[in-house]
Amino acid sequence: MSKRRTWVCLFVLVYAVLLSFSWNLLHSVLAWYNSNASSSSSEWPALYASVLFGAVFGLLSMAAAVTVAVPATVVTWITVLVLLTFCGKPRRALVLEGRKITADITGFAFKILLKEGNIVAAVFAVVGYFTLLRRRGEVD
């Protein structure tokens, strides 16, 4: 099997496991919310459930972004190192530059993933909260 097919199969497998896990978790959170919403008149169960929904979708989006970002980051890293090699950097300096570049790229990618995951989590938490409240109002 070629490297590209291996990466595609690995991506599909990891994403399928993540989707299965999150789907089961979402079903259990929804079942917990339904059991608590019927016995409680407060809005706290909806808040807890919406925060869990947001966290699940935020983590899922971060995992999906990581699987896409890793190959792109590796290609960028290799490109920069090859360009530094062609510029005439000695091997010892190239190793030091490679370590710095690795730290910079990893830190930058982690900050972006964290920011985007938090945005997705916040959006899904707010949407989930209002959806659960509207759904609860329709049931009553």
Mean pLDDT, all residues of the chain: 80
What is the rounded distance in angstroms from the CA atom of residue 110 to the CA atom of residue 57? 17
Q: What pLDDT digit, counting tens, does each position of 55-78 carry?
A: 887 887 787 778 777 887 888 888
57, 46, 50: which is closest to 22 by C-alpha?
A: 57
Indicate yes or no: pTM above 0.85. Answer: no
3-state SS, residue 131: helix
